[in-house]
Amino acid sequence: QDVSQAEQAEAWLLRLPRLPPADLPDQREIEATVAALSQPANPNWILARVASLLLPYYEKDTPQAVREMEAEDWLESLADMPQWAIDRAVRWWKGPDNPDRRKRPLEGDIAGIAGRIFGNVKAVTKITDRQRRNAIPKAEPEPVKPITDEERAHRARVAAEILGKFAGNP
């Protein structure tokens, strides 16, 4: 999925929780958009993106076999993530808002950031569903009928009878 399309879809989804329930789009449309944004990135793209992230930290003495193992670890950590979330996480890591940007990131760093970004999108379905349920008017409880003096006296006799049996009075 094109990153700009994904960003537009994400922005649309993240606006929905602020809407009144009556203005929400059909839940199936929301779920379809979340599903489209949830498609895992292509493994080759992930490896290329990670290579571009790690290039400034390149160590020329690292054996090729070790690099391949590292690549497998990165791929395993990011395999379930969508491209747009990985890309956003990498851009954040390299950007001015990250105080650790000069440090080499580990797989868990990028996977954690991408997971939080992606988690916001996944939560929208549940949030909007809850908004709809809470907007459904609750049934009014039946009004309580006042007890008549006759009913009150009857209840008192029944209660005295029951208490008498427990006290040993037949």
Q: pTM for this structure?
A: 0.73
Give the whole-angstrom CA distance, residue 67 versus residue 75.
Answer: 12
Contact present, 78 and 114 (Cβ < 8 Å):
yes
Reference 121, options 7, 40, 3; nearest CA is 7
- Between 166 and 125, whose confidence is greater? 125
pLDDT tier, 169 (very low <50, low <70, confident <90, very high otherwise): low
pLDDT in tens, 1-44: 566 888 899 999 999 998 888 898 998 999 999 999 999 999 99
**Based on the number of CB atoms within 10 Å of its own CB, is 49 exposed (0-12), middle (13-18) or buried (19 or more)?**
buried
Alpha-carbon dihedral angle through residues 39, 118, 28, 25, given to the nearest 10 degrees: -140
Kindly provide the residue ranges of all beta strands, DSSP E only, lying in the chain, ordered along the sequence: none
For residues 86-104, give the mean pLDDT: 94
Distance of CA 163 to the CA centre of its chain: 56
